[in-house]
Amino acid sequence: MSRKRATLKEVAERAGVSIATVSNVFSGRKPVNDDLRIKVERAAKELSYQVDRAASQLKSGRARVVGVLVPDLDDTFFTSLISRIEVMALKDGYDVIVASSRDDRHLEESRLQTLLGWRPSGIIAVPCSDTVPAILAREVGHLPMVLVDRVMPGSVAADTVTIDNFEAGEIAARYLVEMGHSDIVLAASHLDIAPIRERVRGAASVAERMLGRTPAAIGLGSNAERGAELFTHWLERHPLPSAVFALTNVTTLAVLTALARQRIDIPEQVSIIGFDDYTWMSARKTALTAIRQPVDEIARVAWERLQTRIAGDAADPYPSILNTSLQVRDSTRRLVPSPAGERLKGVEEQGVDPAGDAAKDRPNSIH
């Protein structure tokens, strides 16, 4: 015979606290000191108590659940973002439901329908295209939401959190040009995604101004293996460039794989700048120079903006634009003598170009 489910009252009696205290521990509505929280959690574990989410939802009209939608769970950037949001959500008493659109707009609508079926307190979404999903557009003003990464600031009536993608492209291209590289290839994922176009545009603006030419931009998609095949195919039909700037962590993997298959040495034959700067990029024999996205800051700002909206803030939508930085390591080689010597080697460049001039601040930037 199955045992009757433990109740809130039973947990309170075992922990020696009030029912309200137990409720606050599991709902997060009010802070509870650590000693009482530990007693409640221990009692709940001993009684195998489970929070009745359905009952909580009936009382409040919305569950203490936040939906998070990303384009691809195979992409380290998105899984890192989710991981950080989960930590903050747990601390504030929320559960997180994660969905992936697999970079498919039709699947994206279906996943959002499912997330909204939970009547979440809010949504953090990374759209899979430049177009905000219609189902989310209809919820603007009704459901707290924050759009992250694949959006253009000011393009939608909701809070957004992005990086300065144009500046990121500028920083990488300027570094390569001042290292003496003139034949630069941009390894993009999807050129129809606004942030990628902005990275290309930023890099191209530097190359056009300093070299008088536009760098080639190649779309490699969002799958590393397929991207490696495409880049291998491109290498077989074109002269080897002196440098490659990979515009995502996935295209960084694709480029490295293709060069390895062609037995092309880095940086002796070609220099590389990667994107996102994960641990594996420095845990290599030839550590990668990379543009670092502030993923911790992106997650923090997105969560704080969502919490502000959940709390009732009805101010105009706010675009938060964060800055990237260049991490200089061994995968880039200087082709011309440096008047300043090798002072940049192994040094973190916080939005500063290799000549030492501070990168210009942009409106709405957060440092």
The answer to whether residue 28 is domain-embedded is: yes
> Are 99 and 177 part of one and the same domain?
no
In the chain, the percentage of residues whose pLDDT exceeds 70 is: 86
Q: Residues 281-293: what's their mean pLDDT?
A: 96
In the chain, the percentage of residues whose pLDDT exceeds 90 is: 66
Q: Minimum mean pLDDT among 18-27, 110-119, 147-156: which range?
A: 18-27
Domain that holds residue 21: 8-51
> Are 156 and 261 part of one and the same domain?
no
The answer to whether residue 148 is domain-embedded is: yes
- Does 353 have pLDDT greater than 80? no
Q: How many structural domains are present in the chain?
A: 3
The answer to whether residue 58 is domain-embedded is: no
> Are 230 and 188 part of one and the same domain?
yes
Rounded Cα distance between 300 and 270, Å, is 37
> Are 178 and 33 part of one and the same domain?
no
pTM, to two decimals: 0.78
Q: Which residue has the higher pLDDT, 186 or 339?
A: 186
Q: Residues 256-272: what's their mean pLDDT?
A: 97
> Are 141 and 181 part of one and the same domain?
no
Q: Residues 305-326: what's their mean pLDDT?
A: 95
pLDDT at 52: 61
The answer to whether residue 338 is domain-embedded is: yes
The answer to whether residue 249 is domain-embedded is: yes
> Are 104 and 120 part of one and the same domain?
yes
The answer to whether residue 2 is domain-embedded is: no
> Are 153 and 194 part of one and the same domain?
no
The answer to whether residue 181 is domain-embedded is: yes
The answer to whether residue 16 is domain-embedded is: yes
> Are 209 and 135 part of one and the same domain?
no
- Does 362 have pLDDT greater than 60? no
pLDDT at 157: 86
- Does 299 have pLDDT greater than 50? yes
> Are 124 and 271 part of one and the same domain?
no
Q: Which residue has the higher pLDDT, 2 or 314?
A: 314
Q: Domain with 143 in it: what CATH number? A: 3.40.50.2300
- Does 187 have pLDDT greater than 70? yes
> Are 183 and 214 part of one and the same domain?
yes
In tens, the pLDDT along 110-147 reads 999 999 988 899 999 999 988 888 899 889 888 999 99
What does the mean pLDDT of the chain come to? 87
> Are 106 and 178 part of one and the same domain?
no
> Are 177 and 217 part of one and the same domain?
yes
pLDDT at 57: 52
